[in-house]
Structure 1
Amino acid sequence: MEKIYVLGNLNVDIIMGYFEKWPSIGSEVTGNFFDFRYAGAAGNSALALKRLGFDVYVISSVGSDEFGERFFLNFRKEGINLSKCEKSKKRTGMSVGISFENKERTFFTFLGALEDMNETFINKEVKEIENSWIVICGFNLIPFFQDKRFLETVKMMKEHKNKILFDPGWPPEGWNDGKRQQAVQLAALSDWFVPNLSEAQAISQKSSLKESIEYFKKQGIQNCVIKLGKNGSQGFTLDRHTLSAVFQVGEIKDTVGAGDLFNAALIKGITLGWDDKMAIKFATFYASLCITKMGKERYLSFEEAYASFLKEV
């Protein structure tokens, strides 16, 4: 079983929906859906990667509280290794996700223990990793990821012959020039850069998908796939071939973590030796299929997803 490391944010996710529109200040609205999850981007990625057949290690920080204990208990049951996670004196991070009827969502996040993922901790945990995949997520939630010194950490990862997938996410306070520049530099160091369309346009400061792709090519980014929600994905690879894929396989029920599911399946396809076109198709299909499920049911095994995939291609 191939080892893979997820470096990013573990946090409690409280998901509630579905709402037609954002309520006015001081009012109250009721939803018809609620879920409580031990996830975050790193957790979603780890759970999907495990179901896809990897030996998964998570590098993150949780609190020395009931939520942190539950993370260790739940992930141990799933067979996910948290030996590289620290227990902070701060509370475990928490994110409240509000889902709307159009299946889009908004998040309110408390960082807590994630603020303790500093240079000393991260460098200690990654310095011995060699010849493995490392997923970097939670860029905008972990302060050290936005520090120029983190670029040196990523260079060290590359020197140790690791392959890196970088998912930028969206900053709570919006993008500024410093964050854009850092994200582009991290993307150029990575083997795969996988933003969604909003993130790609904000980082590139371009108004269209085509312009964003051309911008990223000029920045020396090797492989980039932009996730387009219901419109699939589109991007380019090292040989500069443009690739795209779209699948609609059923009623969308739960889009939280859809990008993390895509990332996990993309790595699965690549590690199986598939060409980039097939790997991107499978990743797009896997995410599209998973979001027709709810909660833990979304993390489909490779065997189940691949059998359905073969019927579509």
Structure 2
Amino acid sequence: MNITVVGSTNMDLVYRVPHIVKAGETLHSTQHELFFGGKGANQAVTAGQLGAEVNFIGNVGVDDFGEKVKRNLQEKRVNTTAIRTVGLTGQAIIQVADSGENSIVLFPGTNFLVSTEQIEASKEIIESSQVLLLQLEIPIPTVELAANIAQSTGVHIILNPAPAQKLSDSLLSKVSILTPNETELEVLTGLKTETDEDLLQACSLLLKKGVGAVVVTLGEKGAFYMNEQEHGRVQAKKVEVKDTTGAGDAFNGALAVAICQGKSLKDSIVYASNVASYVVTQMGAQPIFPVSVPQINTDCSDN
């Protein structure tokens, strides 16, 4: 299993609060912790802990956080030879409510310095991969160039279109699997996403633009998927939620692992959903996985 992740690294500053703060409101936090984060890094360490060979292309800052972030990636089985050290490490200020819901403010820092020149320098790494994982916390031209290189050599491309924004038809046409949540799907298509019929119409529009498959992550409601052959739902496991931060990233990292293993789209989604269900029972976006997690069953009846 050979996966390349092009994306972001962050240090997450997490504050536990009774509820997500409202405009003009001041809340006392009952707990404050530092966690490693960044959508790209979260996806990479998930795939690494699930047994994949993972290469990461991105940046860390010229600061104490940057050193810690890079060391953490290495400890979680991620190859960091393509990481540059420049600028200030990205940060995420995260509120986690007692309900498990979260709200996030991002300072991109060095992530906005991930350049097309870096992608050109790491072209062979991308070309030798089975799967390329992308997100949108780095400049779009960088994402587009990585996708171009991957498509030209037949590498599967999984794009998590977060944070939500419009994307060009050119980029979408290169994507093997697109993994938006409901909000991101609505931004991408301009269509409602409230019912299954809405999801069908929105996903159909993306398939017409050349996307190979769309997997809509729905939190505790599981996932809705569609490609040219089939569509359906995968239910999420019912678990005690402590922190939803990084759940979508864990889903994407696990999805890439399952695709590398040759699993069907549905079985890959079941596997990814089960891994994400474990992550939400832990604090932080990059929990240590127990030995049993890589062997999670893909039987849909488990959900």
Is the pair's TM-score, using the shorter chain for normalization, greater than 0.5? yes
Measured at CA, do residues 150 and 285 of structure 1 come closer, stay the same or move farther in structure 2, by a change above 3 Å? Answer: closer
- Structure 2 distance, partners of 1:86, 1:122, is 11
Letter in 2 for 1:203: L
1:282 deviates by: 1.5
Task: Indicate if the aligned counterparts of 2:119 and 2:145 stay in contact, CA closer than 8 A.
Answer: no
Task: Indicate if the aligned counterparts of 1:59 and 1:84 stay in contact, CA closer than 8 A.
Answer: yes
Deviating above 6 A after TM superposition, structure 1's stretches of 4 or more consecutive aligned residues are none
Matched, 1:193 2:182: no
1:244 deviates by: 1.5
Aligned counterpart in structure 2 of residue 38 of structure 1, from 36, 39, 53: 36
Aligned to 1:166: 159
Measured at CA, do residues 269 and 301 of structure 1 come closer, stay the same or move farther in structure 2, by a change above 3 Å? Answer: farther
Q: Report the identity percentage.
A: 22
Aligned to 1:142: 138
Measured at CA, do residues 296 and 154 of structure 1 come closer, stay the same or move farther in structure 2, by a change above 3 Å? Answer: closer
Which structure carries more relative contact order (alpha carbon 8 Å, separation 6+)? Answer: 2
1:289 deviates by: 2.6
Letter in 2 for 1:56: V
Task: Indicate if the aligned counterparts of 2:160 and 2:180 stay in contact, CA closer than 8 A.
Answer: yes
- Structure 1 distance, partners of 2:260, 2:104, is 32
- Structure 1 distance, partners of 2:124, 2:232, is 34
Measured at CA, do residues 259 and 72 of structure 1 come closer, stay the same or move farther in structure 2, by a change above 3 Å? Answer: same
Matched, 1:9 2:46: no
Task: Indicate if the aligned counterparts of 2:57 and 2:80 stay in contact, CA closer than 8 A.
Answer: yes
Aligned to 2:149: 156
Cα-to-partner distance string for 1:34-65 (whole Å, 9 max, x where unaligned):
32112211111111111110111111111111
Task: Indicate if the aligned counterparts of 2:215 and 2:226 stay in contact, CA closer than 8 A.
Answer: yes
Matches within 5 A, 1:92-241: 92-132=89-129, 133-137=131-135, 139=136, 141-143=137-139, 145=140, 147=141, 151-171=144-164, 175=165, 180-182=166-168, 184-208=169-193, 209-237=199-227, 239-241=228-230
Task: Indicate if the aligned counterparts of 1:188 and 1:220 stay in contact, CA closer than 8 A.
Answer: yes
Aligned to 2:85: 87
SS of residue paired to 1:250: coil
Cα-to-partner distance string for 1:255-277 (whole Å, 9 max, x where unaligned):
11111111122122222222222
Task: Indicate if the aligned counterparts of 2:216 and 2:224 stay in contact, CA closer than 8 A.
Answer: yes
1:296 deviates by: 7.1
Task: Indicate if the aligned counterparts of 2:270 and 2:298 stay in contact, CA closer than 8 A.
Answer: no
Give the length in aligned residue pairs. 296
Aligned to 2:56: 58
Task: Indicate if the aligned counterparts of 1:200 and 1:212 stay in contact, CA closer than 8 A.
Answer: yes
1:166 deviates by: 0.5
TM-score (norm 1): 0.86
1:241 deviates by: 0.5
- Structure 2 distance, partners of 1:31, 1:41, is 24
Aligned to 1:261: 250
TM-score (norm 2): 0.89
- Structure 1 distance, partners of 2:252, 2:291, is 14
User: Structure 2 stretches of 5 or more lacking a match?
Assistant: 194-198
Letter in 2 for 1:126: K
Letter in 2 for 1:142: I
Letter in 1 for 2:121: K
- Structure 2 distance, partners of 1:44, 1:37, is 11
- Structure 1 distance, partners of 2:214, 2:291, is 23
